[in-house]
């Protein structure tokens, strides 16, 4: 492996490789999230129907917020994450449930090699901002390679839509709103996100998506931070694998 390759195992910001972080993840997140509603919202946003013969890849699957619901609607689900302890939590959640079509893979945006047929949908929720922009671009090229032509990429993440000149006021007011919703404990996680993780500007994301062979069919953000993208693969790019 090349020495210049980004180390996905080092976890910028919140460290999801820690067992206690993984164990408390769902309890913390369910204070302000409803995974099932989020899944339905995603399917409506993408206008995805008749998915029973389709395959989905969930990049940065964490404890299975998307993958576990997706398993009821898709033929195959590949749930990929760099954190083995997050995957362990996801596995635990389906232990006594009749779910047999999720394949968990301990790998990342830059290391996962999709060996099976090309897929219909790649989803990534609250994970893409873990990569700096250069590596986001490489990850998008790799996602392009996994997808069938006209397949969809769904990104749900923090992306900045505000004027950079106003960043201080915008960030403070967003964090205050988030604290109201998710509680005081979550405030420092959001501060860490802004300080140490790699959320980027919407115009940068747009350019990267285009260069990776996608058109953005939909981009919505209610608060100029949390953003959903529906992106369609429109060209094959013949990416050479990183050495
Ligand atoms: C905030 S959690 C989101 C988990 C899940 N998608 C959700 O909606 O709850 C971020 C996840 O991204 C994973 N992650 C971080 N860097 C990654 C990378 N380079 N490739 C794949 N997953 C990564 C972390 O291990 C963590 O499980």
Which range, of 184-198, 203-217, 223-237, averages the lowest pLDDT? 184-198
pTM: 0.97
Residue 235 pLDDT > 80: yes
Ligand 1: residues whose CB is within 6 Å?
8, 16, 59-62, 65-66, 81-83, 86, 108-109, 125-127, 130-131
Instruction: Give the pLDDT band of residue 88 (cuts 50, 70, 90).
Output: very high
pLDDT tens profile 6-48? 999 988 899 999 999 999 999 999 989 999 999 999 999 999 9
pLDDT tens digits, residue range 151-181?
Answer: 999 999 999 999 999 999 999 999 999 899 8
> Which two tokens mark 225?
């931070």
* C-alpha of residue 3 to centroid of ligand 1, in Å: 23
pLDDT at 243: 60
Cα–Cα distances in angstroms (integers) from residue 121 to residues 16, 23, 51, 194, 204, in the given order: 25, 28, 10, 28, 22
Question: Which fold would CATH assign to domain 14-164+198-233?
Answer: Rossmann fold (3.40.50)
d(CA 227, CA 124): 12
Each residue's pLDDT tens digit, 66-82: 999 999 999 999 999 99
**From CA 39, how far away is CA 37, in angstroms rounded?**
5
Q: What is the pLDDT of residue 15?
A: 93
- Measure 199 CA to ligand 1 centroid, in angstroms: 13
Which of 183, 198, 70 lies closest to 137 in space, CA to CA?
198
Distance 31 CA to ligand 1 centre (A): 19
């Amino acid at each position: 492996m090349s020495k210049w390759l980004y180390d996905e195992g080092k976890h910028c910001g919140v460290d999801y490789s820690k067992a206690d972080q993984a164990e408390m993840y769902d309890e913390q997140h369910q204070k302000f999230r409803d995974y099932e509603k989020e899944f339905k919202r995603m399917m409506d946003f993408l206008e995805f129907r008749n998915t029973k013969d389709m395959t989905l890849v969930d990049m940065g699957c964490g404890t299975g917020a998307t993958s576990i619901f997706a398993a009821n609607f898709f033929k195959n689900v590949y749930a990929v994450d760099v954190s083995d302890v997050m995957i362990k939590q996801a596995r635990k959640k389906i232990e006594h449930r009749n779910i047999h079509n999720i394949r968990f893979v301990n790998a990342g945006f830059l290391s996962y090699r999709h060996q099976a047929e090309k897929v219909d949908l790649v989803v990534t929720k609250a994970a893409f901002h873990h990569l700096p922009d250069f590596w986001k671009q490489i990850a998008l090229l790799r996602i392009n390679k996994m997808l069938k032509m006209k397949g969809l990429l769904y990104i749900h993440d923090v992306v900045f839509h505000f004027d950079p000149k106003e960043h201080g006021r915008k960030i403070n007011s967003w964090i205050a709103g988030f604290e109201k919703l998710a509680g005081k404990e979550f405030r420092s996680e959001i501060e860490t996100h802004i300080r140490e993780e790699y959320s980027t500007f919407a115009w940068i994301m747009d350019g990267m998506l285009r260069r990776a062979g996608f058109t953005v069919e939909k981009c919505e953000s209610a608060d100029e931070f949390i953003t959903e993208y529906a992106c369609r693969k429109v060209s094959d790019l013949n990416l050479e694998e990183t050495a």
